[in-house]
Each structure stands twice: as structure tokens, then as C-alpha cells.
Amino acid sequence: DIVMTQSPDSLAVSLGERATINCKSSQSVFHSANNKNRLAWFQQKPGQPPKLLIYWASFRESGVPDRFSGSGSETDFTLTISSLQAEDVAVYYCQQYCTTPLTFGGGTKVEI
């Protein structure tokens, strides 16, 4: 199984400041079939299902504010919130979809 490790477990960021979340996979999630990293980022607020933010490591899902960006390749990835807003308080998960079982990181709680 590909183990996804996120850091930090939680972070507190002031409004308008940058938040950076890291995700490391135990194996490369680069898929040669389409030259893409099969890595997604999700946001989950209390009582709600996760919401897709980023796919293929750096592609923003339709409707997601451009303050959210993803980067990285192979085994090391980053989700950046460039200017934290109050509505961004949530838990963020990375997820690999390169091989089954599909696996998630343990989550990073972002607070103000």
C-alpha cells in the first residue's frame, strides 16, 4: 500500500497569511500513461463530506478559489493557501489514486 504522510497535523494561520501543507507518499504516484501525478487534495468542514480542491497534483477543480494551489511531483507534494480566509478553516487531506488501495493522508487541521 502507498502510505501518505501529511505534515503538520495542525497549523494556525492569521487571516490573509499563507498556509502550507505537505504530503509525502511512500512510493511515487507519477503515472506514465498520462504523465500526471495521481495526487488530489480535499477540504473537509465539520459535518460535511470532503470537497475536491486539486487533482493531478496541481490542477484546480472548477469553482475552487485561485488562492488554493498544489505543487510537487513523484513523492513530495504541497497544498498552499496563499491568503487564508475565515471560510478556509477545515481539515485538508491528500489522496493518491495511482494504485489501489486508494489511500489518504491523516489530515491537517487549519485554524485561524
Partner 1 sequence: QVQLQESGPGLVKPSQTLSLTCIVSGDSVSRGTYYWSWLRQPAGKGLEWIGRVHSTGSTDYNASLKSRVAISVDRSNNQISLRLTSVTAADTAVYYCSTGNYYTDFLYWGQGALVTVSS
Binding site residues, partner 1, CB under 8 A:
1, 40, 42, 48-52, 55-56, 59, 61, 93, 95, 97, 100-107
Instruction: Say if CB 92 and CB 108 are below 8 A apart.
Output: yes
CB of 79 to partner 1, least distance (A): 15
Least spacing, CB of residue 40 vs partner 1, in Å: 6
Nearer to partner 1, 71 or 83 (CB): 71
Cβ proximity to partner 1, 36 vs 67, nearer residue: 36
Q: Shortest Cβ distance from residue 54 to partner 1 (Å)?
A: 9
Nearer to partner 1, 14 or 34 (CB): 34
Question: Do residues 29 and 15 touch, judged by C-beta distance below 8 A?
Answer: no
In the complex with partner 1, the residue whose CB is nearer, 13 or 61, is 61
